[in-house]
Structures are given as structure tokens and as C-alpha cells.
């Protein structure tokens, strides 16, 4: 549970190697937690998730008990992660006919390694432990202290210089009996910039019933995972946002936190409101090339200290603003939350921040004044690419060569277009000046985009990934253009062309939407951003396809994600391989992907929401119902949607007929898709 997470082997052992450990707020609290029975590791037979932050690991002590083929001593290690740290219960059960005597040991280590060091394969010097009374071990480093306590255990501190510390129990099991051992690790971190929020989750635990049971299972697991990713700033525990992902990005990320909150709007506006306020408090106020800060700009990433990655020259300040898209996404989240029923008072309080964000969009986002939003890292130590595909090789031409910055990404122009219209709607509704200016801005952006971005490919015309330094279209076919759907930037014919290409075998032969076409020179199914599949990316495109009426294409991508969900026990990772289903048969993992990941988990909500097609406009007193045509995912019902504080159920049956129950008084269904659709 954020800000704490644990990485272990499938057997539950946390070994002193690689990236395993108990992590708390950007630091590794325990580098080892290894269970031994008579100085040997038990034989693991399986593990299962047991709810948010809780996992059961089952193993056998083969050398104990009766000498018969069936095992007679079983160990259930139940691990629970909480904001405080980690607790474990170790139940040893014997079905043997004899009395069993054994020694159970937990071997422990601590190195306080920063998360970026662990991610790059490094480690820190082991910290020295101090043993106390009543089974206590303690490690300290600056403002961070880790205390491990084993109930009724003997504690043994390791030798100076990093010797292994231990908790030890002498256990006697009578025939057909059991004993439970308990220990816990608590982390006191006074320098953490993120903490566990107060109160319960800000969204409803919606219930989905569906003909395709995979959707039900995926949503249930995803909602559990999202609860475990809730975070707040240390100084404002009442405003919740979602940490991006476990373990590398369990902190505030502007783009990630905004997209996750936007996908969860059908379940309530509380998370969106908290996310908006947290980012508004850290909105840029000055020009600083080193951090990427600019007046009105929404930040990218928050850490407790500089984030340095060895080997690639990356050195990010603790508060880093190197993102080109978080600011327009912040504007659109404020608008969408207002449409879903965020109280007018909360919206009005953020209008000064909206106007500051528009100031960045108008004055700083387009450095060369060509009418497009572009980025370049002038610090030489920040992110070279600053869209959601932010790896160094993410922006490539069709032949595989890399584009040179400044770079204007296709989807960012769509975000800016949509943000301008959303801002105009908010300004007009709340009596603030400037709406006409941003309507004009959007119209001009659409004209420029149509003139400069469209290119010809072997399967027809499509928007380029980006414009490079020389204003040349970067002519690879990528998932980025799917983010344009639903923004309004494209005409009906242009949307149809994009939808067709995104559902083509080159893009959608895997378990969702590939980030790059298999026909492009830079494609690799295990490239981070040039051929892999990202669930959130696919979900954004599914939502856009659904809004524009391309139900068959949306269903193709949704089916891919549901199949991937099966492969990953319904906990979708940050990304996975873009191999074709015909080649691998099941989704293959990407090494070191975060899991759970906030926007990947939120993708389940986006799929269910697209299926029922429920889009409220609380200020306008209406709701548009547009389920996927022909119900390609079968019957789907979402109970627990929240609209202006009311609980709503939206359903579509197997014939495509929709029903809405529980709308707030005065709201009406405006545009049902087809005859027979009803609203109450």
C-alpha cells in the first residue's frame, strides 16, 4: 500500500540481490527478508493475491514430519503491505503423526538504497543493525529509521559491515497442530515527500456484470490495485492522487496521475479534485531551464531528492517539469470533472490555475511561434523526449532513424486543441474573459495540423507521429495518433482513416494496440515505446474510438487487453510485449515493468465505460448514451457510477439496447444511440 511496496520472488523470499526489497517512498527499507526452516529454504508451491496489499505464499518443509510421499508440514506466509511498512504471519501446520521440532529464521538486511540506484542494477552499502529487547532490530540513516519486531523471537544483529541480521524462533509442533509466527517492519521516514492519504478511497467500488467474465475479473483486481496506489503530499494528506506505479514510480507524476484520474471519473470526481489541487499547488511560477519549470506549467515528477540514473547522464531535480502534455491534460481533467459533477465551488477555486495554465499554453509552449506545441531539453541532463513516450529512442521516422528536437508530437496538438475548447467552456460558464480567444486558437490549430501533419503511407494517409527540428513529418505509424480520436481535431473522414489503421494487423495483431506499426523500421515487440503494448495507451484509444462510433475497432482492442488480463492474472502491467497472438499465443511480459501501474489498472474502468457509453453533462442537465454499436463485448452493466453525488447504473444488453437508472433529478438522456434505448 502506497507509499510502501515489496518486490520478492514468486516464493515470497526477498533476497539480497537485484531489485528485490521492501521499498518505502523512494528508498529501500529492507534489502533482504529470507525465510529458513532448519537453515534451509522451504519448497515453494504457489502464491495468490489476497486483496489490496496482501499476498499468500505457500511452501513445504520436505525434511520435516512423516517419511511418506505426501508432504506433512506446510508453511503459509501471508504478507501484508501497509503505509507503515510490512507485516507477515508465518503459519506452520503439521499433519504428521509425530512431534516436529524445528528452528524458523528470518534473515534480514537493510541498505537504504535509493530507488533509482536499485532500478539501474546498483546497490548501497549494507547498514548496521542494532538489536533490542523483545525481538527487535533497528536500522537508521538520516531521517529514515526501520524497526523490525518479531513477536516472541530472538533477535540477532549482524556483524558490523553488513552481516546478516536474524529473527529466530524455536518451534515445536504436536501431531496435527499448527503455530503462527508474526513479525513486522515499520518505517519512520520524516523526509518523505509523499505519504498515505487520510480516509477511504475517493471513488466507488463499482460492480460490473458482463457476459465476458474477464471484464468483471479485470475490474475487480484493478480496483483493488488502485486502492493500494493512493498517495498524498506530506503536507496535504487530504488531497489524494495516484502514484504512477510499483516500484519505480510510486510518487506524483503529472501525466500519469492525470490520466488515471480522468479514466476514473465515472466512479466519482474526488480523485480528480485531489489530483488537480496537488498539481495546482506545484504549478510553475518561473523560468528554469534546469528543471523545465515555466510559469503556469504543470509538473512531471516529484522525488525527495535529485533523481540520477547512471550510464545515461539523466539527472532530474526533485521537482521536475520536463513534460509537454501535463498542462493541457490538467485543463481537460478540470473540465471533464466539472461535467461529471465536481462542485462549482471546487472548480471555481482552480480557475486562477486554469488561467495560469493557459498562459503557459499561449506564451511558453510554442517557443519558435510556428503554431505547434513542441519540446526540447536545453539542460542536457533531462528527458530528451517529453511526451508520454519519453524514452530516448521513442520518436523515429519510418526508416528507423531518430528525429531531432525540437519535436512537436501529434497527440500533444490534439491535447492542446481539446484543452483550448475545454478552457473556453469553463471561462464562459464562470463568467471569466478569454473564451473567444481560445475558440480561435483551437480553430487555427486544426487548420495547421491538417496542413502539416498528414502523410502518405502504404495503406493510405494518416497523421505523422511528430514534426522534427526541420518541421519534417516523422512518418512512422504509431499509437499516438489514436489519442486524437475524441478530441475533435479530426474530421469524420480523418477519424475513420485513423480508426482503420489502428485496427489493422500491423497495429493490432497483439494483445491490444502496439505503440508502433510492425511495418516500421524502428519496430521491436520488446521496445519500450516502439512496438510494445501499453494498456493505458490502448484504453485511451478505445475510449476515443467509442466516442466517435467505431465500435468494431474499439472491441478489437478491448478483446486484446482482456486476453492480456488473463495472462497476467488480471493485474495488467505497465507494458508488455507487442508480439502477435498468432506467434506467442499469450501476452509476454516486459522486463522490469511496473505492476501494478495506476493508468494500466484504470484501463479496466475505461473499457467498461466505453462498453456502456455513458457521458454526463451535469451543468447542462443532460447525458449522452452511446454504447458500442452492436454490443461487441456482449451485455455489460456498471453499477456504482457517480454523477453529481448520485449513484447511477448504466447497462447495455446483448442486442445493444441501453438503460440508465438513478440519474440526478432534472437530468435527461439527450441522445440515445438507437431506437429502444431508454433513460430513467
Position 675 pLDDT exceeds 70:
no
Whether 212 contacts 49, CB under 8 Å: no
Position 341 pLDDT exceeds 60:
yes
Cα–Cα distance measured from residue 626 to residue 629, given in angstroms and rounded to the nearest whole number? 8
Specify the residue for cell string 466519482: 268
Taking the CB of residue 470, how many other CB atoms lie within 10 A of it?
7
Cα–Cα distance measured from residue 401 to residue 303, given in angstroms and rounded to the nearest whole number? 33
Looking at residue 72, its pLDDT comes to: 97
Spatial CA neighbour of 148 closest among 106, 190, 186: 186
Specify the residue for cell string 489514436: 482
Which CATH architecture is the domain 195-612 placed in?
Answer: Alpha/alpha barrel (1.50)
Position 646 pLDDT exceeds 70:
yes
pLDDT category, 672, cuts 50, 70, 90? very low
Task: For the chain, give the percent of residues with pLDDT over 90.
Answer: 91
Give the residue with greater pLDDT, 430 vs 670: 430
Whether 196 contacts 238, CB under 8 Å: no
Position 272 pLDDT exceeds 70:
yes
Spatial CA neighbour of 616 closest among 662, 656, 655: 662
pLDDT tens column, 306-324? 888 766 778 999 999 999 9
Looking at residue 134, its pLDDT comes to: 86
Give the residue with greater pLDDT, 152 vs 162: 152
Question: Longest Cα pair distance anywhere in the chain, in angstroms?
Answer: 85
Looking at residue 6, its pLDDT comes to: 95
Looking at residue 466, its pLDDT comes to: 98
What are the C-alpha distances in Å from 575 to residues 106, 478, 525?
Answer: 34, 15, 11
pLDDT tens column, 543-595? 999 999 999 999 999 999 999 999 999 999 999 999 999 999 999 999 989 99
Looking at residue 433, its pLDDT comes to: 98
Cα–Cα distance measured from residue 29 to residue 164, given in angstroms and rounded to the nearest whole number? 15
155 grid coordinates: 533477535
In Å, how far from its chain's centre is CA 130?
38
Cα–Cα distance measured from residue 547 to residue 612, given in angstroms and rounded to the nearest whole number? 11
Looking at residue 133, its pLDDT comes to: 82
Cα–Cα distance measured from residue 538 to residue 7, given in angstroms and rounded to the nearest whole number? 27
Which region among 91-105, 106-120, 251-265, 594-608 has the lowest average model confidence (pLDDT)? 106-120
pLDDT tens column, 515-524? 999 999 999 9
Which residues 6+ apart lie within 8 Å of 483 measured at CB?
A: 410, 411, 414, 415, 540, 541, 544
Task: For the chain, give the percent of residues with pLDDT over 70.
Answer: 98
Position 194 pLDDT exceeds 60:
yes
Domains 4-192 and 195-612 agree in fold: no
Taking the CB of residue 315, how many other CB atoms lie within 10 A of it?
15
Spatial CA neighbour of 336 closest among 609, 45, 588: 609
Position 674 pLDDT exceeds 90:
no
pLDDT category, 669, cuts 50, 70, 90? very high
461-466: Cβ within 8 A, 24+ apart: 461/497, 462/497, 462/498, 462/501, 463/410, 463/494, 463/498, 464/410, 465/395, 465/396, 465/409, 465/410, 466/395, 466/403, 466/407, 466/408, 466/409, 466/410
pLDDT category, 161, cuts 50, 70, 90? confident
Whether 121 contacts 113, CB under 8 Å: no
pLDDT category, 90, cuts 50, 70, 90? very high
Looking at residue 671, its pLDDT comes to: 54
| H/E stretch holding 87 | strand 85-94
What are the percentages of helix, strand and coil residues in the chain, rounded to 5? Answer: 30, 30, 45
Spatial CA neighbour of 511 closest among 576, 574, 555: 576
User: What would the mean pLDDT of 372-400 be, rounded to a whole number?
Assistant: 97
User: What would the mean pLDDT of 334-348 be, rounded to a whole number?
Assistant: 98
Residue-wise burial string across 54-85, b where 16 or more C-beta atoms lie within 10 A, e elsewhere = bbbbbbbbeebbbeeeebbbbbebbbbbbbeb
Position 673 pLDDT exceeds 50:
no
Query: What average pLDDT does the structure give for the chain?
Result: 95
Position 63 pLDDT exceeds 50:
yes
Position 69 pLDDT exceeds 50:
yes
User: Exposed, middle or buried: residue 220 (CB in 10 Å: 0-12, 13-18, 19+)?
Assistant: middle
151 grid coordinates: 513477536
Position 676 pLDDT exceeds 70:
no
Specify the residue for cell string 488561467: 355
pLDDT category, 26, cuts 50, 70, 90? confident
Whether 511 contacts 587, CB under 8 Å: yes
* C-alpha neighbours within 13 Å on the C-beta side of residue 315: 8
Looking at residue 310, its pLDDT comes to: 66
Cα–Cα distance measured from residue 65 to residue 398, given in angstroms and rounded to the nearest whole number? 64
Bridge-based pairing state of the strands 136-141 and 54-60 = unpaired
Looking at residue 139, its pLDDT comes to: 96
Whether 641 contacts 650, CB under 8 Å: yes
Instruction: Give the domain ranges of the chain.
Output: 4-192, 195-612, 622-669
Which residues 6+ apart lie within 8 Å of 439 measured at CB?
A: 420, 421, 424
Place domain 4-192 in its CATH homologous superfamily. Answer: Glycoside hydrolase, family 65, N-terminal domain (2.70.98.40)
Looking at residue 523, its pLDDT comes to: 98
Looking at residue 678, its pLDDT comes to: 32
User: What residues are paired with 172 via a beta bridge?
Assistant: 101
User: What residues are paired with 584 via a beta bridge?
Assistant: none
Cα–Cα distance measured from residue 390 to residue 394, given in angstroms and rounded to the nearest whole number? 7
Position 159 pLDDT exceeds 90:
no
pLDDT tens column, 347-367? 999 999 999 999 999 999 999
DSSP per position, 522-549: T--TT-TTTT-B-HHHHHHHHHHHHHTT
| Cα-only R_g, the chain | 26
Bridge-based pairing state of the strands 668-669 and 622-625 = parallel
User: What would the mean pLDDT of 658-677 be, rounded to a whole number?
Assistant: 74
pLDDT category, 621, cuts 50, 70, 90? very high
Amino acid at each position: 500500500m502506497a507509499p510502501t511496496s515489496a518486490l520478492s520472488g514468486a516464493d515470497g523470499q526477498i533476497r539480497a540481490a537485484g531489485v528485490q526489497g521492501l521499498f518505502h517512498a523512494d528508498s529501500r527499507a529492507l534489502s533482504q527478508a529470507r525465510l529458513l526452516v532448519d537453515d534451509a529454504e522451504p519448497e515453494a508451491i504457489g502464491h495468490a493475491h489476497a486483496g489490496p496489499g496482501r499476498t499468500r505464499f505457500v511452501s513445504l518443509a520436505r525434511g520435516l514430519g512423516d517419511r511418506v510421499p505426501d508432504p506433512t508440514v506446510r508453511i503459509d506466509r501471508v504478507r501484508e503491505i501497509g503505509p507503515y511498512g510490512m507485516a507477515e504471519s508465518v503459519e506452520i501446520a503439521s499433519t504428521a503423526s509425530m512431534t516436529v521440532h524445528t528452528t524458523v529464521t528470518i534473515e534480514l538486511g537493510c541498505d537504504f538504497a535509493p530507488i533509482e540506484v536499485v532500478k539501474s542494477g546498483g546497490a548501497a552499502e549494507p547498514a548496521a543493525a542494532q538489536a533490542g529487547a523483545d525481538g527487535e532490530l533497528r536500522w537508521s540513516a538520516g531521517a529514515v529509521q526501520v524497526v523490525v519486531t518479531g513477536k516472541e523471537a530472538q533477535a540477532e544483529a549482524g556483524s558490523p559491515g553488513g552481516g546478516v541480521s536474524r529473527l529466530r524462533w524455536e518451534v515445536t509442533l504436536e501431531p496435527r497442530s499448527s503455530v503462527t509466527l508474526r513479525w513486522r517492519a515499520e518505517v519512520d521516514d520524516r523526509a518523505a515527500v509523499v505519504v498515505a492519504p487520510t480516509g477511504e478511497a475517493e471513488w466507488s467500488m463499482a460492480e460490473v456484470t458482463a457476459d465476458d467474465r474477464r471484464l468483471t475479473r479485470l475490474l475487480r483486481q484493478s480496483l483493488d490495485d488502485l486502492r493500494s496506489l493512493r498517495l498524498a503530499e506530506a503536507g496535504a494528506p487530504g488531497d489524494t492522487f495516484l502514484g504512477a506505479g510499483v516500484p519505480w514510480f510510486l510518487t506524483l507524476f503529472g501525466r500519469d496521475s492525470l490520466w488515471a484520474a480522468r479514466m476514473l471519473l465515472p466512479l466519482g470526481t474526488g480523485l480528480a479534485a485531489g489530483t488537480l489541487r496537488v498539481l495546482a499547488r506545484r504549478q510553475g511560477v518561473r523560468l528554469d531551464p534546469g528543471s523545465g519549470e515555466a510559469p503556469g506549467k504543470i509538473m512531471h515528477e516529484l522525488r525527495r531528492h535529485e533523481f540520477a540514473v547512471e550510464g545515461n547522464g539523466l539527472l532530474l531535480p526533485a521537482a521536475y517539469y520536463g513534460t509537454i502534455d501535463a498542462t493541457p491534460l490538467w485543463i481537460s481533467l478540470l473540465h471533464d470533472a466539472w461535467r461529471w459533477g465536481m462542485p462549482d465551488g471546487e472548480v471555481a477555486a482552480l480557475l486562477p490555475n486554469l488561467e495560469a495554465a493557459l498562459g503557459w499554453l499561449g506564451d511558453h509552449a510554442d517557443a519558435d511561434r510556428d503554431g505547434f506545441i513542441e519540446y526540447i531539453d536545453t539542460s542536457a541532463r533531462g528527458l530528451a523526449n517529453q511526451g508520454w513516450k519519453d524514452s530516448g529512442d521513442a520518436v523515429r521516422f519510418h526508416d528507423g532513424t531518430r528525429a531531432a528536437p525540437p519535436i512537436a508530437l501529434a497527440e500533444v496538438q490534439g491535447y492542446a486543441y481539446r484543452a483550448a475548447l475545454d478552457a473556453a467552456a469553463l471561462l464562459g460558464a464562470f463568467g471569466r474573459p478569454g473564451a473567444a480567444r481560445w475558440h480561435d486558437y483551437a480553430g487555427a490549430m486544426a487548420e495547421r495540423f491538417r496542413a502539416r501533419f498528414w502523410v502518405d503511407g502504404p495503406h493510405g494517409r494518416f497523421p505523422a507521429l511528430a514534426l522534427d527540428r526541420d518541421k519534417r513529418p516523422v512518418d512512422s505509424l504509431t499509437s499516438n495518433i489514436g489519442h486524437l480520436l475524441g478530441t475533435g481535431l479530426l474530421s469524420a473522414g480523418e477519424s475513420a482513416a485513423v480508426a482503420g489503421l489502428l485496427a489493422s494487423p500491423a497495429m493490432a495483431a497483439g494483445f491490444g494496440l502496439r505503440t508502433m506499426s510492425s511495418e516500421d523500421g524502428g519496430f521491436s515487440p520488446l521496445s519500450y515505446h516502439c512496438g510494445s503494448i501499453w494498456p493505458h495507451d490502448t484504453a485511451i484509444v478505445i475510449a476515443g474510438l467509442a466516442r466517435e462510433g467505431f465500435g468494431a475497432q474499439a472491441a478489437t482492442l478491448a478483446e486484446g487487453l482482456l486476453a492480456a488480463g488473463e495472462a497476467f492474472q488480471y493485474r495488467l502491467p505497465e507494458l508488455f510485449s507487442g508480439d502477435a497472438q498468432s506467434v506467442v499465443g499469450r501476452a509476454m511480459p516486459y522486463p522490469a515493468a511496473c505492476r501494478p501501474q495506476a493508468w494500466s489498472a484504470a484501463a479496466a474502468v475505461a473499457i467498461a465505460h466505453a462498453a456502456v457509453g455513458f457521458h454526463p453533462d451535469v451543468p447542462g442537465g443532460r447525458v449522452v448514451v452511446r454504447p458500442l454499436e452492436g454490443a461487441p463485448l456482449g451485455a455489460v452493466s456498471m453499477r456504482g457510477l457517480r454523477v453529481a453525488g448520485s449513484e447511477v447504473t448504466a447497462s447495455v444488453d446483448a442486442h445493444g439496447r441501453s438503460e440508465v437508472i438513478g440519474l440526478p433529478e432534472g437530468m435527461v438522456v439527450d441522445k440515445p444511440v438507437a431506437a429502444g434505448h431508454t433513460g430513467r
